Structure 1
């Protein structure tokens, strides 16, 4: 029988908790997770690989989870200094049966218990009848199970020496012989008796890597839930009332209590499966009175036709902006997930802004279509700044889950709020529904600690990747690796893009099919139609395409005008950038309208905004700022006389880019969404949007934000991005009655930087934002059209593909060749880096240790995947050297947290992050000193410890930031963070 003096937990407890109690708890909770959380597709895959029935696979996984801490049965762990004060451990010290101590302050040498468990488990499992295997130990089931259990603290241990797989004591005598060996076997036997286990063990070929990581993630979650202090204390009290855990009857009673509480533990953590109602597209979105042809096509030819019923697969959707791809993805994800046994949804986007914008749409879809509550998490580094993603839900009392039926109306309102457990770092992807930046999923294919949690979170979902064209070569290569893993894990995938080259599109589908085990050459992928879709079945590689051309509700002829400009803001220069802008924007000042000016860099956006403001100021008076702090009502009249430009006094001028403090940027974005969003929604016409508005912005508005302008003026960019931006001009049909007379159709004006001879001259200030080769190819492609309109959608795919054509006929072939070599070299370098840092494909993994072998910081990796930035915090000093978060000196900089012991409450962290400004790495960073360090009291708060302070002084001319490197960094309320080159 087990010796209950062998303890498993003692921190924060009055008496140590017997190890057997914790092992039983963890196994029972793992079984509950199998029943109520693990995707059915994963259950089937695990059972199939083990060669047992699903209920037998459940018993095995529960048993394995119970074994996770068996490595604690060793002298080094049991005789740790903190535990010696307990009488039970003192008794162990005196028990001759537990020989094996070595000299030391604590009485024993400590071997990490997760490593110890991985070393002793192969022998213990083999004694239960598990096959030993004939290949190298890496492929043995006993070794794989031992490795995955050894990874329950986030890192998988290495493989054992092949000569001593079943004799761990030979390599690690500190494990303890004698009574220690006896108790390891007794604990295993007791667990098997209490938790159940099929006789003879598994009969299958083994456990694949993709199944092993899912089990590993499940064990981690079970361990966390079973280790919660309040649960352990309740179990201890009940055990004491029953006379302890010294008999099998007591252990069974203990397991029964754990089983009764386990569903509540899952509810408290909001771990459950999503369940969507079975509906057609029009029933899911009744507010869409006239679905787009693309939406009807996917619904009729895939969903209603039962094509998704064959199992998991990948759906690629290509269409211009405004064709309803988001709704297609949500409806398809619900149907694909139900058919494939992956009922959750993970919606991934390129930026925080696009994730924030989509969060509300996914929440609305969930509330209307879920059969029961399901938590929705928002996943990116500043999620807490999103006011709609409020953390207040954490304080709500635990409620019984509410189940809806098919007969409930759409307004039944299933809850999608997420509580505190899922909001904790690293857990968000475990929620049934998730919206976040793509890096949150890409971390699953990097060798980082606890990547099994991300892999588990993805395994139960349909994964949607929006704006699939928007990633650089490094991120795209990691995305391909992720698609291989998703294919191997039988996870359905939806890929969305407005401007994706045909080769890139088919490459992503091929990556998924490769992971699913389909060999190249066994299927044929056609080039995607535009608009259109391609669906590939993961099990058979059967490819389904539309039965015919897909039309559009909003065909358009896009006029693209090329405006050659020199890069100067001198209004007297007739071919200068500012002069060209003023010619385009004068109609706004005269007759109203909404125009977006999209700049390549933040600095140029700030410079453009300033130049326009200075130009309009003499015309409208010295007090004209082009800005105010009001978040105006969308229907507010635009002038003293009201109306769409009637009696217009001045154009509103707005600036939006990524270098504003988070709280300020969110307010500007919300204002822009109100002003330039849909005029009609759910059949009720909103007041008309304000006319006479100029929004100066960077690329932040080109993806996923649903905005509509009468004209877009853009810097030259690669073809795909120009067409993406053009999707924001004349976007909404409901806006037509309010357009100014001067806007006679969709038009994109492109500012082409040229030299004195009229040749392309990419400004140095653009850096490496865009490859010069792509800019040249884009420019020459548009010049070749000789002013011919771009028919949308008919011409889009040809234009996008043409820019990358190897046979591109350039007017400057020698120059283009050099630029192409530079572009391809950069692409190869980025792809090579991605391949170097990514985990192997599942079929190439030898040891699970390869999956968590990096010591890289997760935040740094996530930052690299997004933008290489530093989190800065401008602070303002007064005459007494007190520091404030605002220029008005009304919000003091806290030197410590507001919670007991100087800790930071979630609310205070959220408030502080709202003042943070991201800034790209540069030479300025090398000149930072102690003055740029955050307060010492911030060091224990992970989200604040790495912030760089930017101390500002305030003088007669306003604030002045620090001089770092060759630049002064100053935060202006209306401009954001300005980096001014020092003379």
Structure 2
């Protein structure tokens, strides 16, 4: 309950805080007093503290007070002060109509100098706290939070700016501003003499800054707090009652209340229906329960080992132990994110009581049917109590839902110097963070990820990293990023294994962090960490074969597939084959060759399909090649009735990670060793009720996608036969890693024959990612050149990432004003689907997202995707605003295309759509009416439902 304060004098209630200009509900003459808005924001902050912010975040705010009542009062105080600068002539004159009533009480020139009101708020706070003789360090963090409530912190130079700025008015104005400052202080109940002794950690400052912004947004909304046009009697009580409804306005059902069963077997049975947890799952549970404080858990285990369930169980244990009330699960692609979202909705979340509000965060989230229904309040039979929030799905709000399943981009946004980055930190500071496929990101994304991990370590947020194949150097870099340690020393080895690193406190960071003297780096102490090994349920042999092929001729792979599943093959025309190509063009060429030999039995999957076709494609892959079904009564595995007897899937990296699909044999282009092992994980992923076809009883990975320079086909790479690669260096993989992978696999094959998974996995990865020479002597000069090119490429990407990062917190003289180097140059609007184009978390503008339609006539176009098999393409208007049904059809035609194939001068938004807000940002590419083609110079491209976007030059 907020303390009641005396009513304000009339001359302090005439300042306006909001006007009806631009409002849908109020007229320009309507207004809301600044004092009322300060009270509104204070009350909303009080509700957020009570019902939204986690106990872990609240404790971190003022750790020496346990984040108790002083922390709560300080948060209310910060929230109420955020708009203090509006009580200045430099702001009040912006509404001439309302400025007249102010001037009757306070003298002022007709056109006072304007200054952004958040900066005036910071300046006034500095002035009044200085009068109270607060220490400079204590003044700085308060002024930075107040001055950053529009998404950009004041620059460091602003701290020493001249105090008496004309925008703030003269002594008479200062007296009124001081009274408002004291009013907010009394209303919040904060003891300023006690608060002056405390400076929150930099992580807590970031998170609380975002929480102040959230409180302001809620209090500023006309639909929540109506305009008073004055200060009515008893307004504070009315405001407090309105603020209590914030959850309804945010569409926040429940935060997460983690309550894991104390027994491990009961936890896995209750949450996932797993009667006998695997070794990795048992170890993750043990490590989480033994943790004495939040930290980083690195889980390395083979594909199919149940890492997803292990992560969710560990996250729940850590959240309950340390007071977190949310979860963010990050994945590499939209397709894998959608799949995990469905798995979470179908299983884990239904055993939670009460069910927390859930969000799906990526650029196409609203095109996911189940999430869209939740946003509309339409639950499935088992989803009555499950909610999703439309209000919390915007670009800056995507991490605010208690449970969020999203792409890795959403996490990386927290490391980029952009407006409102602090709001993303608020969302993360309440949560346990899980990152899947953590090995899968290039040097550019990894540099941003390391910065985010460093901040999560300062927040004290528990993090779980998952990987089937993680090089030691990469693992150690992740551990150093989170802990802030200069060096780590990990003892213990094995596979599967789990490494735990606690979040360090300031004294530990001073001991193990970067040495002040660079010459002391070698002797600087390493942070000692322990890796614990466990057993795997996935042990077995993996046959690795080599099959070089002539350049750009897929006939060799066609013949190979015919040998395996053709009518005359040992399998007698049965079996499922997954062929993974490194580029879309190679996948399309292979598909074209195979469909002639196996008509109706070949499917193509890659990233250049429309949203509608990708959704259909992903669902079809999971339906036909997913895990066996389970008998409802006995729980015994039964064969998937949709699984075909014979089928070939040709795919790019879209089928490489996180998709729970299972094939009898896999053929893959040469890729780095960790990704090859990931691809092999799509082969024999599940124990099937029926025997595998003849000749496919053992998992088998055939490596192709390179040309032997001496024309060999089935032989291992030998002295003098340097392989030739069909793609340019680093497109999509560094030749350095490809050559080392091939050399190491050939060496293993010669010495041991088959691979043992998981036993051989660590040594293979360490060899390829190490610096020990590999391959025949005649390869060494070329491999040395490739290594130099790789080092240069990595340095360039890391350097480019460094230019967009928020600052790394420093132990000395670091504050919020130093966080945003770029001062908000990346100004992102509220549209979640546009944010990925605005924030540079992936390197290079190599693609563009468009709406792909085929023109019918001047006023009409049609979709390029079929609504359903056998149905005609849907017509959509170009000369009027589309209906809701037409809108969904249009958005389903979204596709990401290579920039070099698109004539951007021909992109536009149809004139008839201009008044529709949802399509104001859309770029439409219209295929030709007669040919169905798009042209860029002499290059011609088209779209086919079977093959996607196709270059037909």
Match of 1:259 in 2: 240
- List aligned pairs for 1:829-840, cutoff 5 A: 829-840=796-807
1:201 CA drift (Å): 4.0
Partner of 2:316: 334
Output the CA distance in 1 between the equivalents of 2:200 and 2:590: 59
Change in Cα spacing, 1:743 to 1:462, as seen in structure 2 (3 Å) is same
Hey, what's the Cα distance between the residues in 1 that align with 2:170 and 2:493? Answer: 65
Say whether residues 1:290 and 2:290 are aligned partners: no
The correspondence for 2:941, drawn from 969, 979, 982, is 969
The 2-side partners of 1:843 and 1:219 are apart by: 24
Q: Distance in 1 between matches of 2:839 and 2:691?
A: 43
Partner of 1:550: 534
In the other structure, the counterpart of 2:574 is 592
Q: Given the two structures, how large is their TM-score scaled by the length of structure 1?
A: 0.84
Per-residue deviation, 1:736: 4.6
| 1:63 lines up with 2:47 in the alignment | no
* Match runs of 1:486-885 below 5 Å: 486-514=456-484, 519-520=485-486, 524-526=489-491, 528-539=493-504, 545=530, 549-569=533-553, 571=555, 576-586=556-566, 590-616=572-598, 624=599, 626=600, 652-681=601-630, 683=635, 685=638, 687-688=640-641, 689-733=643-687, 735-758=688-711, 759-764=722-727, 768-786=731-749, 788-811=753-776, 812-843=779-810, 845-848=814-817, 850-851=819-820, 853-856=823-826, 858-862=835-839, 864-865=841-842, 868-878=846-856, 882-885=860-863
Could you say which residue in structure 2 is the equivalent of 1:16?
31
SS of the equivalent of 1:533 reads strand
* Residues 140-539 of structure 1 mapped to structure 2, 5 A cutoff: 140-160=137-157, 164=161, 168-169=163-164, 172-233=165-226, 236=228, 245=231, 250=233, 253-271=234-252, 273-279=255-261, 280-286=263-269, 287-299=273-285, 301-303=286-288, 306-308=289-291, 310-391=292-373, 393-394=375-376, 415-514=385-484, 519-520=485-486, 524-526=489-491, 528-539=493-504
Q: Which runs of 5+ in 2 are unaligned?
A: 1-7, 509-526, 712-721, 828-834, 866-871
SS of the aligned residue for 1:121 comes to: helix
Pair 745,909 (structure 1): closer, same or farther in 2 beyond 3 Å: same
Contact 1:972/1:978, CA 8 A, preserved across alignment: yes
Aligned residues: 874
Partners of 2:531 and 2:152 in 1: CA distance: 46
- What CA distance in whole angstroms lies between the structure 1 residues aligned with 2:945 and 2:667? 25
More displaced, 967-976 or 172-181?
A: 172-181
| CA separation of 1:676 and 1:850: change in aligned 2, threshold 3 A | same
Aligned pair partner of 2:120 in 95, 116, 141: 116
1:979 and 2:951 are equivalent in the alignment: yes
Q: Assess, with a 3 A threshold, how the Cα gap between structure 1 residues 600 and 546 changes in structure 2: closer, same or farther.
A: closer
Give the Cα separation in 2 of the matches to 1:457 and 1:943.
Answer: 26
Deviation at 1:862, TM superposition (A): 4.6
| Separation in 2, partners of 1:570, 1:208 | 59
Cα distance in 1, alignment partners of residues 155 and 731 from structure 2 = 41
Higher mean displacement: 739-748 or 351-360: 739-748
Q: C-alpha distance in 1, partners of 2:115/2:684?
A: 67
1:928 matched residue in structure 2: 904
Determine helix, strand or coil for the equivalent of 2:609: coil
Q: Does the 8 Å CA contact 1:863/1:869 hold for their aligned counterparts?
A: no
**Counterpart in the other structure of 1:5:** 14
Q: 1:810 to 1:942 in 2, by over 3 A?
A: farther
2:106 to 98, 102, 116: 98
- The superposition leaves residues 283-341 of structure 1 with CA deviations (integer Å, 9 ceiling, x where unpaired) of 23322233211112222x324xx312x12111110001000000000000011112122
Q: Shift in Å at residue 757 of structure 1?
A: 1.2
Is the Cα contact below 8 Å between 2:578 and 2:648 reproduced in 1?
yes
Residues 454 and 727 of structure 1, relative CA distance in 2, 3 Å threshold:
same
Quick one: distance in 2 between partners of 1:511 and 1:941?
Answer: 45
* Normalised TM-score (structure 2): 0.87
Given that 1:883 and 1:892 are in contact with CA atoms closer than 8 Å, whether structure 2 keeps it comes out as yes
SS, match of residue 723 in structure 2: coil
- Distance of aligned partners of 1:940 and 1:823 in 2 relative to their CA distance in 1, 3 Å threshold: farther
In the TM superposition, what is the alpha-carbon distance from 1:382 to its structure 2 partner? 0.7
Identify which range, 961-970 or 265-274, moves more after superposition.
265-274
In structure 1, the partner of 2:134 is 131
Q: Secondary structure at 1:347's aligned position in 2?
A: strand
- Asked if 1 retains the 8 angstrom alpha-carbon contact of 2:419 and 2:826, the reply is no
Could you list the per-position Cα deviations for residues 186-215 of structure 1 after superposition, in whole angstroms to 9, with x for gaps in the alignment?
Answer: 111222222211152414352332222111
Query: What secondary structure does 2:545 align onto?
Result: strand
For residues 779 and 161 of structure 1, the distance between their equivalents in structure 2, rounded to whole angstroms, comes to 57
Q: Is 2:118–2:150's contact at 8 Å kept on the other side of the alignment?
A: yes
> Which of 93, 96, 100 does residue 84 from structure 1 map onto?
96
Distance in structure 2 (CA, Å) of the matches to 1:908 and 1:223? 36
1: CA distance, partners of 2:250 / 2:378: 13
Return the alpha-carbon distance in structure 2 between the equivalents of residues 263 and 150 of structure 1: 26
Work out the CA distance in 1 between the residues paired with 2:823 and 2:619. Answer: 42
Q: Residues 474-515 of structure 1: CA distance to partner in whole angstroms, max 9, x if unpaired?
A: 11111111111000011000010001101211221121111x
Distance 2:708 2:755 in 1: 27
Segment of structure 1 superposing worse, 418-427 or 691-700: 418-427
1:122 to 1:838, Cα distance in 2 relative to 1, 3 A: same
Give the alignment's Cα RMSD to 1 decimal.
2.7
Q: In 1, Cα distance between the equivalents of 2:920 and 2:728?
A: 32
Secondary structure, in 3 states, of the residue corresponding to 2:927? strand
Report if aligned partners of 2:552, 2:726 keep a CA contact under 8 Å in 1: no
Report the CA distance shift for 1:163/1:727 in structure 2 as closer, same or farther (over 3 A): closer
> Structure 1: which 5+ runs fail to align?
134-139, 398-410, 617-623, 627-651, 900-904
Q: Is the 8 A contact 1:563 1:751 kept in 2?
A: yes
Q: Is the 8 A contact 1:98 1:180 kept in 2?
A: yes
Q: Helix, strand or coil for the counterpart of 1:524?
A: strand
Structure 1 position 357, deviation (Å): 0.7
Alpha-carbon separation, structure 2, partners of 1:111 and 1:908: 45
- Superposition deviation, residue 667 in structure 1: 0.7
